[in-house]
Homo-oligomer: A and B are copies of this chain.
Amino acid sequence: MTIYRAQHSGFCFGVKRAIKLAQDAKAHYIGKQIFTLGELIHNPQIVHELKNGGIEPANSVDELHDSVVIIRSHGITRSERLELQQNGNVIIDATCPYVARTHELIRDMIREGYQVYIMGDADHPEVIGMLSYGDEHTRVISPREDVCKANYQKVSLISQTTQKMDDLIDLSGKLLNCTKELRIFNTICLATSERQTASLSLASETDLMFVVGGKRSSNTRQLYAICKAQTECYHIEDETEITPEMLIGKETIGITAGASTPDDMIIKVYNQIKEINRDPSFAKSIEEIPLFKEESC
């Protein structure tokens, strides 16, 4: 049995940064209760570890007065930020810089008179945050939407950072038919697209894939959908979900992981497969797990 991990699996830059900021806050505000507004990242193990370290998720801005509050990597809305400030909280801003840039761009485009469209999932916290930087005309659109109901002179299209490039291209083509000027910002995070491409490539070469990450993590669910279309696939949160039955008759197994999955969890999953297979050559670091590299074409 051969096990590979996909390139670009696991923590992205924004998630690493958020965790680092949380750890720094803990070291700085010793003995003080620290909150994150919503769960810092979509990973139950990390959230659990943070709780143990005294960093608790709060559900709403209303609960937070004169506290230390970490803004998660997805960002928050303009009014939430204002309320946090007005209620005397110390704000530690772990908004992913790529997400923060979309806020700036939306503000700039509104100032320059553009009709702004946000390509993304209207229910996602990142998109809810982005939308709050628009004006009353700013709209969230999905890639498959009929966009040409109205004509505008100047349209700007800005994407949620985890969307697909092909969808941005399709939507741009549609919008070009109903505007004189289309200003597109490719704000899709490179880590997301690279992870998807590498996972797809590995899935197409294996008998079985494990996609590791929080069940609520949107980018992990996307990875699962991509891999499932190629081969037998399980979306797991940790190694305990792996059963011997899953591995029967499998020669080549792939592992990939969402942006909020720590390397430790990928190692545990790898070692669990080895364990079930009675192969004692466990990995101690992520580097010891063979990396699947697609042949250049």
Residues of A at the B interface (CB closer than 8 Å) are 165, 168-169, 172-173, 176-177, 179-186
Contacts and interface: CB of A to CB of B under 8 A. Distances in A.
**Assembly stoichiometry (copies):** 2
A179 B186 contact: yes
Contacts of A183: 181-184
Contacts of A185: 180-181
A87 to B, nearest CB: 36
Contacts of A165: 176-177
Contact of A182 (B177, B180, B184): B184
Nearest 9 pairs of A and B residues by beta carbon: A169-B173, A183-B183, A182-B184, A181-B185, A180-B186, A169-B176, A172-B172, A176-B186, A173-B173
Contacts of A173: 169, 172-173
Contacts of A168: 176
A54 to B, nearest CB: 39
A165 B184 CA distance: 17
Contacts of A176: 165, 168-169, 172, 184, 186
Contacts of A177: 165, 169
Given A169-B172, A181-B185, 18 more contacts: A165-B177, A169-B176, A169-B177, A172-B172, A172-B173, A172-B176, A172-B184, A173-B173, A176-B184, A176-B186, A180-B186, A181-B183, A181-B184, A181-B186, A182-B183, A182-B184, A183-B183, A184-B184
A67 to B, nearest CB: 37
Contacts of A184: 172, 176, 181-184
A168 B172 CA distance: 11
A165 B182 CA distance: 14
6 contacts: A169-B176, A172-B173, A172-B176, A176-B184, A180-B185, A182-B183
Contacts of A182: 172, 183-184, 186
Contacts of A181: 183-186
Nearest to A173: B169
Nearest to A172: B172
A182 B159 CA distance: 13
A79 B169 CA distance: 38
A72 to B, nearest CB: 24
